[in-house]
Amino acid sequence: TLSATSSKLTFSSQAKMSRPVQARRLEGVDKNIWVEFVKLADTYSTVNLGQGFPDFPPPDFLKEEFTRAFSGEKHMLHQYTRAFGHPPLVKILAQLFGKLLGRDLDPMTNVMVTVGAYQALFCCFQAFVDEGDEVIIIEPFFDCYEPMVKMAGGTPVFIPLRPKAPKDGKLMSSADWKLDPAELASKFSERTKAIVLNSPNNPLGKVFSREELELIADLCVKHDALCISDEVYEWLVYDGKEHVRIASLRGMWDRTVSIGSAGKTFSVTGWKVGWTVGPNRLLQHIRTVHQNSVYHCATAAQEVVAQGFQREFEHYGKPDSYFVQLPKEMQQKRDQLVQSLVAVGMKPIVPEGTYFLVADISEFKSDVPDVPNSDEPYDSRFAKWMVKNKGLAAIPLSAFYCGPHKNNYNSFIRFCFAKEEATLKAADDILQKWKLEKTTP
Ligand code: PMP
C-alpha cells in the first residue's frame, strides 16, 4: 500500500541520516575564529584592523610582472607546471635561501612550493606527526597549528611566553614576553616529535633572539625533535633587529623545515604562494603529502613570484629593495598606531616585527562590563562589542591560546597595521571620539 511504501521511505532515509558523517579526526576542530570575526568585520566595521592583510597595493614591479605574465606570449603559464614547484621559482628560492642560510641548496630537493604557508604547515604535520606524538606549540600562536596537529593525530603541548612589565614605566615591548627555560625544557620528552617556532611571531610581533633560538635548538638536538619554523614575517623586522633563521644554528639544518609566504613577502596575500625549505630527508615526506593532496599550485602566480624574487635577489640589501623599503614603511605605521593607542589609554605592546600589534584594553573595561562565569573570554566579548558599537575590528588575543589557557591573557586585542595612511587615520578618529565620549559625561 501507499502508506507502507512511504513509511519504508521514511525509515530508510532516517537510517541514512543517523549514520555519523564526520570523521573522528574533525572532532573538536570545527570552530574557526576567522570565520566568525571576518563575518563580524564585514557586517559592522568601518575600519578593519582585524585579519592580517595589507590594504595597500603590492610593489609596482610585481604588478607589472603580473600583467606581463597574463597578457604576454607565455601561454604555457596557463597550464600545469612541475608539481613540487615551478622551476624558475624553486631555482631563485634555492639561490636566495642558500645565501641566507650559508649552504648550497638544490632547487629540486631542498625547496617545495605550496598553496601559501598554510599548506606548507599542513604538509609538515601530516608528514611528520603520528598518533601519540607530541608537538610543542609556543603561546600565543597562529591559531591553525593546534587543529592541524590534532587532525594529524598528534597531541599539542603548550608553553606560554610569559610577560614581564618593564620597571621604568616604559611601554612594554614584544621582547618582554619570554620563554621560561626550565619550563620549556620540561615540555620535551621522548614523545616530542616537533616544536613549532614562529619568529617573528603572530600575534605579538616577537622576534626571538639568537639566545632564545639557541635554547630551543639545543633542546631539539638533545631530544631528537624536529623544528617546524614558520617564518612568514621574515622581512618584517624593525628597529634594526636581526631575524635569525633557526635552520642556520648548529645541528638544526637536518631537523628544520623553514616556511615562508609570498603573501607576506610581497604584500599579495590573495595569491597564496608559499614554500618549504629544508633537507631532502624531511622534504621528501612533505612532497608525498603534497603529491597526494594538492599536487600542484597555480603556475602563473608562481611565475610572477619568481620574477619578484629575481628582482629582489639583484637588489639585495640596496635601498630600493622591497625587503628594505617595506619594513621601513611598516615601522612608521607601527609607530603611528602605537601613538593613537597611547593617546586614548590603550597600552600597546610595541612589536619588534610582523604587521601586528597587541594592546592592553584594561582601561576600557568600564565600557564592556565583565560577565562572571561566562564561557566566552572577556577580550572576545570586548572585540565583538567594539566592532558592533564603534565600527573598529580587531582580534581578541585569547584566540591565540588553547582552550584551557584562553582566560589567562584575556584583556588584550590584536590590531593589524599593514594599512593605508587613510585607514590608520580613520582608526585614530574612532579612538579619539571614543576617548572623548568616555571623558565627557
Ligand atoms: N603563518 C602565520 C604566522 C601567519 O600569520 C599566516 C597568515 N596569517 C600564515 C602562516 C599563512 O600564510 P599564507 O597566507 O601564505 O597561507
Q: What is the mean pLDDT of residues 254-270?
A: 98
Q: Are 159 and 183 in contact (CB under 8 A)?
A: yes
Is residue 384 included in any domain, yes or no?
yes
Quick one: cell of 373?
562565569
- In this predicted structure, what is the pLDDT of residue 1? 46
Is residue 5 included in any domain, yes or no?
no
User: Is residue 365's pLDDT more than 80?
Assistant: yes
Which atom, in ligand 1's list, is nearest to the CA of 121? 10
> 407-435 burial, b for 16+ CB within 10 Å, e for fewer?
eebbbbbbbbbbbeeebbebbbebbeebb
Length of the chain: 441
> Residue 162 belongs to what H/E stretch?
strand 162-163
Residues 305 and 407 in one domain: no
Question: How many independent structural domains does the chain possess?
Answer: 2
Q: What is the mean pLDDT of residues 13-22?
A: 73
What confidence tens digit (pLDDT) does each residue in 57-85 have? 999 999 999 998 888 788 999 999 999 99
| Cα gap 193→220, rounded to integer Å | 9
Report the residue among 261, 269, 297, 302 best suited for mutation to probe ligand 1: largest number of ligand atoms under 8 A from its CB. 261
**CATH number of the domain to which 121 belongs:** 3.40.640.10
Look-up: residue for cell 609556543? Answer: 138
Distance, CA 389 to ligand 1 centroid (Å)? 29
Residues 352 and 399 in one domain: yes
Distance, CA 259 to ligand 1 centroid (Å)? 10
Rounded to the nearest angstrom, the gap between the alpha carbon of residue 407 and the centroid of all alpha carbons in its chain is 21
What amino acid is encoded at 425 in this protein? K
Distance, CA 368 to ligand 1 centroid (Å)? 31
| Cα gap 371→384, rounded to integer Å | 14
| Domain endpoint, select from 315, 346, 362 | 315
Cis before residue 327, ω within 30 degrees of 0?
A: no
Is residue 394 included in any domain, yes or no?
yes
> Under 8 Å CB-to-CB from 93, ≥6 apart: which residues?
85, 107, 111, 113, 275, 277, 309
User: Is residue 368's pLDDT more than 80?
Assistant: yes
pLDDT-above-90 percentage for the chain: 83
Per DSSP, the three-state class of 68 is: helix
Q: End-to-end distance of the chain based on CA atoms, in angstroms?
A: 76
Q: What is the mean pLDDT of residues 111-118?
A: 98
Confidence at 374, pLDDT banded by 50, 70, 90: confident
**Which residue owns the Cα nearest ligand 1 atom 15?**
116
What confidence tens digit (pLDDT) does each residue in 265-310 have? 999 999 999 999 999 999 999 999 999 999 999 999 999 999 999 9
Residues 306 and 353 in one domain: no
Per-residue DSSP letters for 346-363?
-EEEB-SBSSEEEEE-GG
* Structural domain of 148: 60-315
Distance, CA 128 to ligand 1 centroid (Å)? 20
Report the residue among 33, 121, 264 best suited for mutation to probe ligand 1: largest number of ligand atoms under 8 A from its CB. 264
Is residue 309 included in any domain, yes or no?
yes
List pocket residues of ligand 1, CB cut-off 6 Å. Answer: 52, 116-118, 142, 198, 202, 230, 232, 261, 263, 269, 272, 274
Distance, CA 154 to ligand 1 centroid (Å)? 21
Which atom, in ligand 1's list, is nearest to the CA of 198? 3
Residues 272 and 410 in one domain: no
Confidence at 19, pLDDT banded by 50, 70, 90: confident
Cis before residue 107, ω within 30 degrees of 0?
A: no
Which atom, in ligand 1's list, is nearest to the CA of 273? 15
Which atom, in ligand 1's list, is nearest to the CA of 354? 5
Is residue 6 included in any domain, yes or no?
no
| Domain endpoint, select from 264, 282, 315 | 315
Per DSSP, the three-state class of 67 is: helix
Residue 324: is it exposed, middle or buried by C-beta count within 10 angstroms (0-12/13-18/19+)?
middle
**Which residue owns the Cα nearest ligand 1 atom 7?**
52
- In this predicted structure, what is the pLDDT of residue 392? 96
Cis before residue 57, ω within 30 degrees of 0?
A: no
Residues 350 and 411 in one domain: yes
| Cα gap 206→12, rounded to integer Å | 57
Q: Is 85 left (phi over 0), alpha (psi -120 to 50) or beta?
A: left
Distance, CA 122 to ligand 1 centroid (Å)? 12
CA distances from 290 to 26, 83, 87, 114, 146 (A): 20, 8, 16, 8, 20
Q: Are 391 and 46 in contact (CB under 8 A)?
A: yes
**CATH number of the domain to which 340 belongs:** 3.90.1150.10
Q: Using alpha carbons, select from 395, 363, 357 the residue that is nearest to residue 379.
A: 395
Confidence at 15, pLDDT banded by 50, 70, 90: low
Is residue 306 included in any domain, yes or no?
yes
Distance, CA 232 to ligand 1 centroid (Å)? 6
Residues 48 and 130 in one domain: no
> Residue 264 belongs to what H/E stretch?
helix 262-265
Distance, CA 381 to ligand 1 centroid (Å)? 25
Residues 328 and 304 in one domain: no
Confidence at 370, pLDDT banded by 50, 70, 90: confident
What confidence tens digit (pLDDT) does each residue in 151-200 have? 999 999 999 999 998 888 899 999 999 999 999 999 999 999 999 999 99
Q: Using alpha carbons, select from 217, 127, 224 the residue that is nearest to residue 179.
A: 217
User: Is residue 49's pLDDT more than 70?
Assistant: yes
| Domain endpoint, select from 315, 332, 353 | 315
Per-residue DSSP letters for 81-143?
--TT--HHHHHHHHHHHHHHHTS---TTTSEEEEEHHHHHHHHHHHHH--TT-EEEEEES--T
Residues 287 and 185 in one domain: yes
Residues 218 and 154 in one domain: yes
